[in-house]
Amino acid sequence: MSIPTNLKYTKDHEWVSMDGDVATIGITHFAQSELGDIVYVEVETLDQTLERDEVFGTVEAVKTVSDLFLPMSGEIIEFNEDLERNPETINSDPYGAGWMVKVKVSDVSQWDELLDSEAYASLIGA
């Protein structure tokens, strides 16, 4: 199972990459494999400022709907609109084209509180 070492992770199975004060967020390979075939992604929080751990959207798979939790506080500045037409991209490329949102982070020190790849691997038993 793929767990890129350049990303950080949450116990809720989101991944985060940082570029300056902008975080790109998606769900992990483990999360998409547990969900199964993803059929819909909903993010209605574009242009809203949310706190860490608040729900920023949902992902719907054939069997279930799961909330998406924001790993770092900030303003949702971009939604990956390609997921509206091709939500299955999350299954095929969760760490690349399957990213979900970009956030202008209000507290970059929260990055240090996220799990590194080793801690996340331990969490999922990989």
Q: What is the pLDDT of residues 70-97, one digit of tens each?
A: 999 999 999 999 999 999 999 999 999 9
pLDDT higher than 90, residue 2 = no
Ranges of H-type helices in the chain: 29-35, 82-85, 89-92, 117-124
> Does the predicted TM-score (pTM) go above 0.75?
yes
Residues contacting residue 122 through CB under 8 Å, at least 6 positions apart: none
pLDDT at 63: 86
pLDDT, the chain, mean: 96
Q: What is the pLDDT of residues 25-40, one digit of tens each?
A: 999 999 999 999 999 9
Question: Which residue from 45, 96, 94 is spatially nearest to 73, judged by alpha carbons?
Answer: 45
Torsion of CA 70, 101, 49, 104, to 10 degrees: 100
